[in-house]
């Protein structure tokens, strides 16, 4: 089981690093600020070091958004158009390497859950780290990017819904996503640490 954990950890680090290098190579450096890139690397480090706090904090951030992305992707494959409007970019013309890297959205959650099952959850307070991290990312993204890029959906919703007082809704949505994932994972017996 430890070998599986090592493979998963390095796979996440590889995909996260490849995503950052690829965005720089494609001439779009602001894209390196996407949460999923840094979270993949941190998730990989957390898995390799068996750091439950780091692993769970990244799962709290990315699990629900990646599930929504996957649902939209499958919906597009079946119907020929997306439901949420998230995955349209994947089916447009673009570099093959970018599409291969983007496919990490499909396997990150199942592999991360397997890693959490192996490592076990040793803390329930990862949500605090998660919320501090997304708050920092929100501020950095707003400071360093433009609304045209809408990195991390900080300027407007990435799905086909609009909200008033969007910045407040962004934080409320992230808080709900983080707490829901944290609560859900910490309640599942097979993920809990055996004391």
pLDDT band for position 117 (cuts 50, 70, 90): confident
What's the pLDDT score for residue 55?
93
**192: three-class secondary structure by DSSP:** strand
Q: Each residue of 38-79: pLDDT tens digit?
A: 999 999 999 999 998 999 999 999 999 999 999 999 999 999
45-49, 90-94, 162-166: least confidently modelled range: 162-166
- Nearest C-alpha neighbor of 55 from the set 122, 142, 141: 122
Q: How far is CA 181 from the centre of its chain?
A: 12
Q: Each residue of 29-38: pLDDT tens digit?
A: 999 999 999 9
The CA-CA-CA angle for residues 132, 134, 88, to 5°, reads 170
What's the pLDDT score for residue 125?
87
Provide the whole-model pTM: 0.90
What's the pLDDT score for residue 195?
35
């Amino acid at each position: 089981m430890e070998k599986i954990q090592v493979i998963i950890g390095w796979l996440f680090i590889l995909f996260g690093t490849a995503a950052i290098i690829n965005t720089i190579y494609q001439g779009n450096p602001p894209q390196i600020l996407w949460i999923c890139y840094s979270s993949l690397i941190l998730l990989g480090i957390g898995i390799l070091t068996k750091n439950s706090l780091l692993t769970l904090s990244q799962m709290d951030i990315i699990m629900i958004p990646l599930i929504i992305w996957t649902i939209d992707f499958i919906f597009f494959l079946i119907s020929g158009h997306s439901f949420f409007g998230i995955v349209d970019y994947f089916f447009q013309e673009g570099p093959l390497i970018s599409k291969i890297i983007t496919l990490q959205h499909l396997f990150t959650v199942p592999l991360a859950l397997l890693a959490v099952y192996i490592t076990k959850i040793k803390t329930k307070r990862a949500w605090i780290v998660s919320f501090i991290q997304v708050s920092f990312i929100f501020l950095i993204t707003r400071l360093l990017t433009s609304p045209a890029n809408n990195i991390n959906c900080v300027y407007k919703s990435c799905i086909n819904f609009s909200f008033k007082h969007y910045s407040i809704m962004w934080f409320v949505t992230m808080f709900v996503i983080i707490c829901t994932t944290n609560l859900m994972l910490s309640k599942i017996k097979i993920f809990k640490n055996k004391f």
